[in-house]
Amino acid sequence: MTEETTHFGFKKVATEEKEALVGEVFTAVAAKYDLMNDMMSGGVHRLWKRHFVATSGIHQGDLVLDLAGGTGDIAKLLMPQIGKQGKVIIGDINQAMLDVGNDRMIDAGFMGRFECIQMNAEKLPFEDNSIDAITMAFGLRNVTNKQQALNEMYRVLKPSGKAMVLEFSKVNSSVLKKLYHFYSFKILPEIGHFVANDRDSYQYLVESIEQHPDQETLKSMFERAGLEMCGYENLSGGIVAIHQGYKL
């Protein structure tokens, strides 16, 4: 029997091994993850995330599942959106990332308005039709079976619920693409080595971006999951894109 394989960055690995390998990466970078994002993007990731939440259409009182939300940055931004009657469930497969997010949310004074749960996006621990909205920022590319994760989002969303994914995508300018590629593969791993003494983890993060589906492919995957009114918005020339779809 042929062993099923998937990508871990540019490497091909057994499908059953990827979850553990990704876990090792994020355990290694958890403590300095947000600092590294600042250095890698010049702080622009914060603007992307603010726009992502500001345009989410999430309402006061909503129950929101923030997948791959470990460090709590999206959850913090969601607090004014959901109000005191709403709640954010921070879901992440990596406990080290969740520990960072839990401490951050408590320090910010949000006790009782959030919950951190370790979970796999491919098998969400919720009943059908139970979540008002799902957000996922810079996490889908690390999921082994992305289509299954989108299928699960559709399953747990309430009718009229919305799924939103902010993720690195494909640059639509040839000049910008060359500059971005050089920066990603030549500079970013060295930043990882200098700041976190961990070149390999950041090399993987760069490679995982390169392997992620482009905008139209991901849109079709949203549709295949059953989501409707699917679309995307490119930010920074397509370096990242916000995808969305509704369960009608």
Tell me the binding residues for S-adenosyl-L-methionine.
71, 92, 120-121
For residue 92, give every residue at least 6 positions away whose Cβ sits within 8 Å of its Cβ, in sequence order, or none: 67, 68, 69, 70, 98, 101, 116, 118, 119, 139
For residue 51, give every residue at least 6 positions away whose Cβ sits within 8 Å of its Cβ, in sequence order, or none: 235, 242
Beta pairing partners, 162: 133, 246
Radius of gyration of the chain (CA): 17
For residue 103, give every residue at least 6 positions away whose Cβ sits within 8 Å of its Cβ, in sequence order, or none: none
Identity of the residue numbered 84: K
Query: Using an 8 Å Cβ cutoff, are 244 and 226 in contact?
Result: no
For residue 184, what are its two tokens? 């990603």
User: E strands within 20-156?
Assistant: 63-67, 87-92, 114-118, 131-137
Binding residues, as ranges, are 71, 92, 120-121
In the numeric block, the tokens 């749960």 are attached to 117
- CA distance linking residue 153 with residue 175, whole number of Å: 36
- CA distance linking residue 49 with residue 10, whole number of Å: 27
Task: Tell me the CB-side half-sphere exposure of residue 211, using CA atoms within 13 A.
Answer: 19
